[in-house]
């Protein structure tokens, strides 16, 4: 057996081989350059994995944000479509209320109910449009009649037969109108040129006078045909 004690039991001093490797186990080999290189490769690999996982998480977060916005947009569009469908079914009722108001039949409690209904529909986004004097727009107006007037400067709605309605910037029903355009100037008739067509007085003046023939007769008015004797 080999005695590996640092202190010699006989002399009580530290043995030379133990003093040669202080702070460590006698005979252990120091850490060399290959171990440091292995640690550096491990750190680089871990950093690369962290970068890749971070990129994956950022990509997943962006996809989830896009999905959330798309779902929110689809939900909003579906809600607007349902509201527009409901409002479109009430337009005939609003027309009846308008006709009753025009004839003076919208009085008393019925008037208050009608005004409350109209206010509620306006709060839901229903917009009414169409009044005389508006500029004609084929995208929101439906022309039923057409005329020419001198008091307009362009295509103008002069009469409104049925009001139009909008919701969320979309046309629920176009306004039915009568359209007037400015009158154009009538061209003056062309002046007659001198020496005009047949049968005109100036042409008759240009005809040569009849010449007597050898028999003393004068040709008729047509320069031929029956003659009239000079006697």
> Are 165 and 173 in contact, with CB atoms under 8 Å apart?
yes
> Are 18 and 26 in contact, with CB atoms under 8 Å apart?
yes
Asked if residue 112 has pLDDT above 70, the reply is yes
Q: Across all residues in the chain, what is the average pLDDT?
A: 77
Distances (CA, A) of 169 to 127, 128, 163, 172: 9, 12, 16, 9
> Which SS3 state, helix, strand or coil, does residue 126 take?
strand
> Which SS3 state, helix, strand or coil, does residue 43 take?
helix
- State what percent of residues in the chain have pLDDT above 90: 51
Q: What is the mean pLDDT of residues 146-156?
A: 92
* 176 closest CA partner among 208, 119, 136, 148: 136
Q: What confidence tier does 169 reach under pLDDT thresholds 50, 70, 90?
A: confident
Q: Name 127's Cβ contacts closer than 8 Å, sequence gap at least 6.
A: 165, 166, 167
Q: What is the mean pLDDT of residues 124-147?
A: 93
Report the pLDDT value the prediction gives residue 121, as an integer from 0 to 100.
Answer: 94
Report the pLDDT value the prediction gives residue 82, as an integer from 0 to 100.
Answer: 93
State the residue for tokens 């000079």.
230
Residues 38-94 have pLDDT tens digits of 777 888 888 999 999 999 999 999 999 999 999 999 999 999 999 999 999 999 999
Cα distance between residue 213 and residue 38, in whole Å: 144
DSSP letters of 164-206? EEEETTEEEEPEEEEEEEEPPPPPPPPPPPSS-STT-HHHHHH
- State what percent of residues in the chain have pLDDT above 70: 65
Q: Report the predicted TM-score, pTM, of the whole model to 2 decimal places.
A: 0.54
- Computed on alpha carbons and rounded to an integer, the radius of gyration of the chain in Å comes to 55
Q: Name 218's Cβ contacts closer than 8 Å, sequence gap at least 6.
A: 210, 212, 227, 228, 230
Higher pLDDT, 83 or 187: 83
Q: What confidence tier does 15 reach under pLDDT thresholds 50, 70, 90?
A: low
């Amino acid at each position: 057996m080999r005695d590996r004690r640092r202190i010699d039991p006989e002399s009580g001093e530290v043995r030379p081989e133990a003093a040669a490797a202080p702070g460590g186990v006698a005979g252990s080999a120091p850490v060399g350059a290959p171990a440091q290189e292995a640690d550096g490769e491990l750190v680089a690999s871990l950093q690369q994995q962290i970068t890749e996982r971070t990129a994956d998480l950022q990509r997943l977060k962006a996809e989830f944000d896009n999905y959330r916005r798309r779902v929110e947009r689809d939900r909003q569009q579906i809600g607007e479509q349902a509201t527009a469908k409901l409002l479109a079914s009430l337009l005939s009722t609003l027309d009846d209320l308008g006709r009753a108001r025009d004839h003076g039949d919208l009085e008393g409690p019925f008037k208050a109910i009608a005004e409350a209904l109209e206010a509620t529909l306006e709060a839901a986004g229903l917009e009414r449009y169409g009044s005389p004097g508006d500029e004609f727009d084929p995208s929101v107006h439906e022309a039923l009649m057409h005329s020419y007037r001198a008091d307009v400067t362009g295509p103008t709605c002069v009469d409104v037969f049925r009001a139009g309605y909008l919701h969320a910037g979309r046309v629920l029903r176009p306004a039915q109108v009568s359209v007037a355009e400015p009158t154009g100037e009538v061209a003056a008739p062309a002046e007659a040129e001198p020496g005009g067509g047949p049968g005109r007085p100036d042409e008759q003046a240009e005809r040569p006078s009849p010449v007597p023939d050898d028999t003393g007769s004068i040709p008729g008015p047509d320069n031929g045909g029956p003659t009239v004797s000079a006697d």
